[in-house]
Amino acid sequence: MRRMYYIAAMFALSLAMPGCGDGVNLPDLPAGVETDLYKIPLASDSLVIPLKAETEPMIHNGGLHTPEDFQRIKDNLTRSPWAEGYEKLVNNSHAQTSYVPNPQTSITRGSGTAENYRYAYNDVAAAYQLALRWKISGDNAFADKAVEILNGWASTCTVINGTTDMSLAAGIYGYQFAVAGELMRGYEGWADADFKAYQDWMVNVFYPMNKDFLDRHHDTPAGHYWANWGLCNIASMVGIGILADRRDIYNEAVEHFQVGETNGCITKAIYHVFDGENSNLAQWQESNRDAGHTYMCQGLMGVICQLCWNQGDDFFSYGGQNLFLKGCEYTAKYDYAGLDVPNVPYTREYKGPWGTATEEYPSIHARAIISRPIWALPYYHYAKIKNVDENAIQYTKFAMEYEAPEGGGGDYGTNSGEFDNLGFGTLMYARD
């Protein structure tokens, strides 16, 4: 449901005194009134990115990767860094026609349950990588194997279950299956009936769980779940909306990303923007939790931004302040460059055993570099498409160069976290 905007907020801005971190503090307001303008929801009728009419068809240009992207790759395949990126792809065990998929009747995730979600994240990584190899090489053998994997899951899997972690499975693997399916759209070897069945599978099995999490979040306070939960379910709905030609689903996701109540909302996931000498930095909601989940949030937001960008919706420059870039710079400056960053304590509201409770996260996570393929996408977009000032992207560039060439699922380990991002950013996003 859309939130109503506090119209007085913009007027108050002109009266505000300089504040710590946010730029402004609102004076003499009643207790309980939000004073952080970055947290005040936008008007339901004045979204930064307006919703398109539900009758307007989705754009089918590859989802994450367009025909222009693949042509650029083909033109530069023998040059660095594309050559190194391509080598990472062709050497990955998941990107082979010999890969043996293992579709399951259910995707089950959650401690204490009969977990089997590893089959999903391995198989969808394979489908994605095989789709890339087909698009780049033109060899239909890769396409046939990708279709085999996708058809196998659509005809076998009927439910996602487990503990509340089922919402993570629905979100993470939902967006990945949607992206892989969209890449294979139009392949002559994928029968129309099978493709329709695949679309229906995504809409009937994944989407209801994505929507339920964003709407109800397991009957907990809106702030109970960390940002990655909301972000992965938003990413899934964006991907499904594109795949299934469902503008209504896409609009739901785009709306929640801007004004939704969960921490998947962009200005809650990146919940604090600094000013002054730190105006190029913004703090992630999970920054005071740990490095791994902060990286996860960055990767998921990159997927959302890129999918929407290829639909003509620019979340990269959200609000005219490149909010996503500021979040990337914050993480890269602290973890990769090893430099101090400002930090605002975070208070989490959650559903405790005796009702709503809070817990404090007073300082930033222990510094750590956890290799993930999440840096090439923001760097090349902001540096080569947006042409931002080099000082505004210096730390993201440092992290990108540190991690290059980026691999994908199977290159970083065998646990689920190593498969949260589809990867191969060096190959797919590099530009001169």
Non-local CB neighbours of 31 within 8 Å, separated by 6+ positions = none
Expressed in angstroms, the distance from the first to the final Cα of the chain is 43
Task: Indicate the SS3 state at residue 147.
Answer: helix
Distance CA 279, CA 52 (A): 32
Q: What is the DSSP letter of 218?
A: G
Which residues neighbour 109 within 8 Å (Cβ) at sequence distance 6 or greater? 115, 117, 160, 162, 163, 165, 166, 168, 169
Asked whether the beta carbons of 396 and 379 are under 8 A apart, the reply is yes
Average pLDDT score over residue span 50-78: 97
Whether 125 contacts 118, CB under 8 Å: no
Residue 103 in this model has a pLDDT that exceeds 90: yes
Q: What's the average model confidence in pLDDT over 174-203?
A: 98
Least confident window among 9-23, 234-248, 300-314: 9-23
- pLDDT score at 8: 33
Segment 80-94, tens digit of pLDDT: 999 999 999 999 999
For 105, phi then psi, to 5°, come to -70, -25
pLDDT at 350: 93
Contact (Cβ atoms closer than 8 angstroms) between residue 177 and residue 236: no
> 3-state class of 273 per DSSP?
strand
pLDDT reported for residue 3: 37
Rounded mean pLDDT, 97-103? 98
Q: What is the pLDDT of residue 176?
A: 98
- In this model, does residue 25 exceed pLDDT 50? no
* Mean predicted lDDT score pLDDT of the chain: 91
**Whole-number Å distance between alpha carbons of 234 and 425:** 21
Write out the two tokens for 344: 């605002």
Confidence (pLDDT) at 37 = 38
Q: Looking at this protein, which amino acid is placed at residue 174?
A: G
Residue in 320, 328, 334 with CA at minimum distance from that of residue 301: 328
Q: What is the pLDDT of residues 205-239, one digit of tens each?
A: 999 999 999 999 999 999 999 999 999 999 999 99
Antiparallel, parallel or unpaired: β 159-162 and 106-109: parallel
| pLDDT higher than 60, residue 196 | yes
How far is C-alpha 189 from the chain's CA centre? 30
Coil, strand or helix at 37: coil
Asked whether residue 361 carries a pLDDT value surpassing 70, the answer given is: yes
| pLDDT, average across residues 285-295 | 97
- Residues with Cβ within 8 Å of residue 164, at least 6 apart in sequence: 110, 218
- Which residues are 156's β-sheet partners? none
Rounded to whole angstroms, how far apart are CA atoms 227 and 371? Answer: 20
State the CB neighbour count (10 A cutoff) for residue 240: 26
Mind listing the pLDDT tens digit for each residue in 124-179?
999 999 999 999 999 999 999 999 999 999 999 999 999 999 999 999 999 999 99
CA torsion angle 16 21 22 28 (round to 10): -40
Contact by Cβ (8 Å): 363, 345: yes
303 pLDDT higher than 50: yes
Higher pLDDT, residue 194 or 29: 194
Domains assigned to the chain? 47-62+93-370 (1.50.10.100)
What CA–CA distance (Å, rounded) separates 245 from 71? 25
35 vs 137, more confident? 137
pLDDT at 319: 84
Tell me the Cα Rg of the chain. Answer: 21
**Residue 364: what residue type?**
I
The answer to whether the beta carbons of residues 107 and 115 sit under 8 Å apart is no
Give the pLDDT of residue 39.
40
pLDDT score recorded for residue 166: 98
**Cα-based distances in Å from 65 to 103, 175, 419:** 26, 14, 19
Report phi then psi at 270, rounded to 5.
-110, 90
Q: How many CB atoms lie within 10 A of CB 221?
A: 18
Q: Kindly state the average pLDDT of the residues 118-127.
A: 98
47 pLDDT exceeds 60? yes
Rounded Cα–Cα distance for residues 266 and 247 (Å) = 20
Report the percentage of the chain scoring pLDDT > 90: 88
Please check whether residue 310 is in contact with residue 59, taking contact to mean a CB–CB distance below 8 angstroms: yes
Residue 429 has pLDDT above 60, yes or no: yes
Residue 19's pLDDT band (cuts 50, 70, 90): very low
**Least trusted range by pLDDT, from 14-23, 283-292, 337-346:** 14-23
Contact at 8 Å (CB) between 22 and 38? yes
